[in-house]
Structure 1
Amino acid sequence: MEPVPAAEWVAYGWDAVAAAIGNHPHFVRAALTSERAFGTDRLDAITALTRTGNEYTLTLAGAPRPGCRKEPASPAADLVSVADQVLISDPSDSERATAELLNYAAATWDKQDLPLRQHAQAVARARRTR
């Protein structure tokens, strides 16, 4: 697995929803549509066309999940968070070693080269999905 640069972690929710609908086999097309509100265009709806010719317009609303960070943390803080999750879960010796390496990479983040940073982030992502 190739590491994904941190800049590509930004989630564009409405784009992701439109892409997911558009990639579904029952739909021909899905596109963001705009609504004029208070003098500015807002992309807050998706118009989807089915293979049978029906058209649906979905109005979107989003809110942060409870307990989610409002601002993205630094990559080093993400490493520490994953390491902490590993350490509180009764880790095996190899899991403990991984957590210690993640903590070390986070503590020395500014001194690490890009390949090591990317690898540490990939390890953290893999641990987070378990």
Structure 2
Amino acid sequence: MQAVVRDLRQLAAKYASDRKDGPKLQALSNAAKSCASLPHKELEESICQVAVPVHGVYVAKPTLQKNLRNILILLFRAKESNATLTKQEILDAAADRLKREITEREYHQAVTEICISTEDGQLVLKNGDEP
């Protein structure tokens, strides 16, 4: 939660210093500053409207229940913190839950949004420190 507050404050400062879009960015700056000042419980409730917690990391909620992004979230939640996934685990879970094969494009999009590939090809959940 400290990282979220820190990032909100940095966002507020960034938007406040950017004058080219004036009122729009000032409003975003004020919103970020306001959110950073919320009590942690209230901030977490707000975040949970658009994201799900997975081992201390917030991941944007998928728009559909039956999609690969949701399957990745379920797989990571079922494992311990800092766990890894393999492509085969993901493909097997997708085939089981979606009742179809997923395309390479679907796989790549979902994985790059919320995972980082390790040197040995395992996938770990992004922790917010890396893009």
Q: Same fold (TM over 0.5)?
A: no
> Which is greater in Rg?
1
Normalised to the residue count of structure 1, the TM-score between the two structures is 0.31
Larger RCO: 1 or 2 (CA < 8 Å, sep 6+):
1
Q: Please identify which structure carries the higher strand content.
A: 1
Q: Please identify which structure carries the higher helix content.
A: 2
